[in-house]
Structure 1
Amino acid sequence: MDRLQTMQVYVHIVEGGSFTHAAQALQLHRPAVSKAVQQLEQELGIRLLNRSTRKVSTTAEGEEFYKRCLEVLASVNDTFASFSQQRVLPKGRLRFDVAVTLAKAIIIPALPAFQQKYPQIDLVLGASDHPVDLISGGVDCAVRLGEHKDSSIVARKIGAIPMVTCGSPAYLSRHGVPHTLDDLRRHKAVNFFSGRNRRVMEWAFCPGGESVTLKLDSGIQTDDSEAFLSCGLAGFGLLQGLRPSLQPYISSGQLIEVLQNVATVPKPVSIMYPSRTHLPTKVRVFIDWLSELIGRQYPA
């Protein structure tokens, strides 16, 4: 086998977790698959896989080689596709990580349309509120709220989602309904913190077009979106969050919107991906699709 073929075999072994899976997927005899791995390990002078009777797993070097193989094979596929008279549908495994509230309220409901358009892309979704290392984590792209400044990656702003301020009926009955920003300063908040420095997110308003940020005293703090909502429903304090995420609870009466006469500052949405000259086609079409999805509903 040539190098590209052995790399292809290796990727199938890692993703399928077995030599047999790779042999079946590539319609090869199992000895040919084993020989391909031996060829790679001999040529590289390293051990790529840990083998047992039940499981195949990558060594540290094997995991890094797997990620490099994905990049090389994606680049080869893109090169052939770009010169082919009949365009080939993008295919392969797409790993993307999305902030939890965005995933649940906006992206997951729309994903079937993307999958129908690109049926050969195998979607692998991670939903997290924590920073993700795109390179070491093998993640093709990530979608996060807020502005991001990291020279090692590309961060493209694709929209801005409206925010809403609200509280549970139980909390408001105990502490009163705020009608002004001065009233708000006397209230407790369910505060959300994020990032490696665990910074508490400020609340942002723009009364009369002037930007004002506030940090309310915490009734409780959390770094998890699900817990953030649960704490608000339980009456720990007021919430300021994405309107698409909180609106169903406002409509049902579980939360009550406050300060409706004071405009909030929309939260930017950014899509991040490794800084490469040539993005794999599967990543490029996903970025374009997501940018259109968010930008159409929530333009920046």
Structure 2
Amino acid sequence: MEWKSPKELKSKYIQNKPVEMYVFVDPFCMDCWTLSPIVKKLQIQYGDYFTLKHVLAGDLTVLNSGKSGTPKAGRKADPAASPEKTVHMPHLAAISIKAAELQGKRAGIRYLRRLQELHFMEQADITDIYVLEQCASHVGLDQKEFLHDLYSSSAARAFQCDLIIASEMNVGEMPAVVFFNERIEDEGLKISGLYSYDIYVHILTEMLGGYVQPTELPPLELYLSANPMVSTRDLAVIYDMPVQKIERKMKKLQLQRRVERIHTKNGSYWKYIAYN
């Protein structure tokens, strides 16, 4: 299946992307997970106009207390193990994302999304070092490099830098998005909490002086092939369709054996089945 975006044909309004968008996320926050398809849709339709940076934030005292809000189902630590051998290290869930980013921005985003899938879809224990290793393997990271970076000062410093950025921008509520335009004299515009897709588009349009030309969304199956595990809810957001309509489309693909339905406590998910 071949699909050409209209942005390949249109003349460029901009030479450089004039807007920076900082998305502050906590991997244990359900609203941050809910924001994910909205950010994905913004990238698809308006990615020509902004650069995106994910910044980790959140309350580490909550992370370290284990109060993440989702039941744990990962491998249990050996109670007889020495402290340095214990596999449950809550702060590593956050630092592991920075370790993944050291293998590239896209690798970091793939890892973050998979980590959230494990937590919210599969109820896996993402405070477990073995689950983090499996996550890295799943998204194609270099395992040896990932484990080295996970315990390196580079990943720890990168995480501390994120916390400093969150503090400087007064980010307290999760999720949060901060927009900056190319005029350095202008202050950034912060929106805390979770809002509809149209609100983020409106802000982006305002920061671009009213001119934006959205890129057409790809055909559904092409999107699924690039995002092989998605929820009905996420597809409804991205394609701006009622859940019932998305369900009908997905059931047709299921009958064609193009997708497999996966049931979780957080709703239905669809796994794309690639052609052999």
TM-score (norm 1): 0.27
Structure with the larger strand share: 1
Q: Which has the larger radius of gyration?
A: 1
TM-score (norm 2): 0.28
Structure with the larger helix share: 2
